[in-house]
Chain A
Amino acid sequence: MSRVLRAAVVIALASLVVVLVLAFRRAPTDIKTGTVGRPAAAFTLQQLDGAGTWSSSNAQGKVVVVNFFASWCLPCKEENPALVRVYERYRASDVVFVGVLYQDSRDSGLRYVRDNGVVWPTMSDDDGRVAFSYGVFGIPETFFVGGDGVIAGRHIGPIDEATLIRGIECLRRSPTGGDCLRASAR
C-alpha cells in the first residue's frame, strides 16, 4: 500500500471522527425555520363557529399571533391557559390572536374551542394548505407575524406565557421584529 494511500486512509478516518464529534453540537430536535423572515401567506378560511369567513387581510398592519391546534393534541390543551391569559392581557390593544384548526373535524374543533374558553377567531384549515404555507411541522405551533406582514418568529411545541409576551412586545416595539425574535422550540 503506497504512502499516499496510507495517508489518505488516515485522513479519511480522522475526518470521520471529527464529523461524529461535531454531530454532538447539534440537537436533533432543532429544526431550522423555512418561513421565518418571509411574508406570511394570505389566507381566507371558514370560521368554526359559523360566523362566516376570516381573512388574513382583516389583520393587515397589525401584530398577529397565529396558533395551530387540534382537539386531539394534548400539549395544545396544556398551552391553552397561557394563550388565554395573554389574549386577555392584549385584548384592548390591536394585537390579533388567530387559532387555526389542523387535521381535525370541525365539530371536534368547535367542541374543543367551547370547552377551553378560546374566544379569539378560530377557523379550520381543511386541506392543510395554510399549514403548509406557514411551514407547520406539527402542533402545537405558534407564529408571530409583524405589522409588515412578515413572519418574525415561530415556536414549535407548547408555548408559555413568557415567550408569548416577549414575542408580542418585541413586535409592538419594532414592527419588523428584527433580532429580538428567533425560532424556538420546546
Chain B
Amino acid sequence: MNSATRARLAAPRVVLVMALVAIAVAIVWSARPHAETQAERVDRITAELRCVVCQGLSVKDSPSESARQMRDLVAQRVAEGRSDDQIRDEFRASYGDWVVLAPPLASWSGLVWLVPLAALALGTLVALGRIRPAPAVAREPAPADVAALRERAAREEALDLPVDAR
C-alpha cells in the first residue's frame, strides 16, 4: 500500500492507542494507595466481622445494638493501636472462626479464594482448545463421513420445523 493509504490507516490506530493508554493511566491513577484514616480502618475491619445476632450481615452493615457495640469495641482497639489480626483474634477467641466473614488466605479454607481463578483458568484452556483454525484447503470428505452426514441430515429433517425468521 502506498504512503497515503498507510497514513490514512495509521491515524485511527494512533487515536485508538492513545485512548487505551488514557484508560490505563486513569485506572492506575485511581488505584494509587492513600493513607487509611482510623475511621476507614474501623470500617474495613468491621466489614470483615460477622454480626453475631444477624443472619450473615457484617458488623459494619448491621444496625443492631450488638453490632454497634462491636463497632465501638473495634474503634477503641484501633485507637489503642492494636493490629488487625489482634482485633480479629479477640473476637475469634469468643466466637470462633465463624465470626470472620471470609477465610484467611493462609489456611486450608483459604483455598476457596482460588476457586474462581481455577475455574476461569480451566474454562479458558478448554475454550482455547476448541478454537481450531479451519484448514486452508478443503479436504474431500471420506465416504463414511458423507454417509453419516446424510443419515444425520435425514434424521433431522424428519421432524420438520419452520425455521425461525432470524
Interface residues of A (CB under 8 A from B): 5, 31-35, 38, 103, 127-129, 131-138
Contact = CB atoms under 8 A, between A and B. Distances in A.
B94 A135 contact: yes
Max chain A Cβ within 10 angstroms of own Cβ: one of B70, B92, B96: B96
Interface in B87-118: 91-96, 98-99
A127 B93 contact: no
Contacts of B69: 103, 127-129, 131-132
Contact of A35 (B65, B66, B72, B93): B93
B73 interface: yes
B53 interface: yes
Interface of B: 52-53, 65-66, 69-70, 72-73, 91-96, 98-99, 126
B53 A137 contact: yes
A134 B94 contact: yes
A134 B93 CA distance: 9
Contacts of B70: 128, 132
30 contacts: A32-B98, A34-B92, A34-B93, A34-B96, A34-B99, A35-B93, A35-B94, A38-B93, A103-B65, A103-B69, A127-B69, A127-B72, A127-B73, A128-B65, A128-B66, A128-B69, A128-B70, A128-B72, A129-B69, A129-B73, A131-B69, A132-B69, A132-B70, A132-B91, A133-B94, A135-B95, A137-B52, A137-B53, A138-B52, A138-B53
Nearest to A136: B52
Contacts of A128: 65-66, 69-70, 72-73
Nearest to A38: B93
A134 B53 CA distance: 15
Contacts of B94: 34-35, 132-135
User: Which 6 pairs, one residue from A and one from B, show the smallest C-beta to C-beta distance?
Assistant: A128-B69, A135-B94, A34-B96, A34-B95, A103-B65, A34-B94
B58 to A, nearest CB: 16
Contacts of A131: 69
A131 B94 CA distance: 9
Nearest to B126: A5
Nearest to B96: A34
Contacts of B91: 132
Max chain B Cβ within 10 angstroms of own Cβ: one of A5, A103, A134: A103
Contacts of B65: 103, 128
Contacts of A32: 96, 98
Contact of A103 (B66, B73, B93, B98): B66
Nearest to B53: A138
Contacts of A127: 69, 72-73
B87 to A, nearest CB: 12
A31 B98 contact: yes
Contacts of B126: 5
A183 B126 CA distance: 49
A178 B28 CA distance: 58
Contacts of A134: 94
B67 to A, nearest CB: 10
Nearest to A129: B73
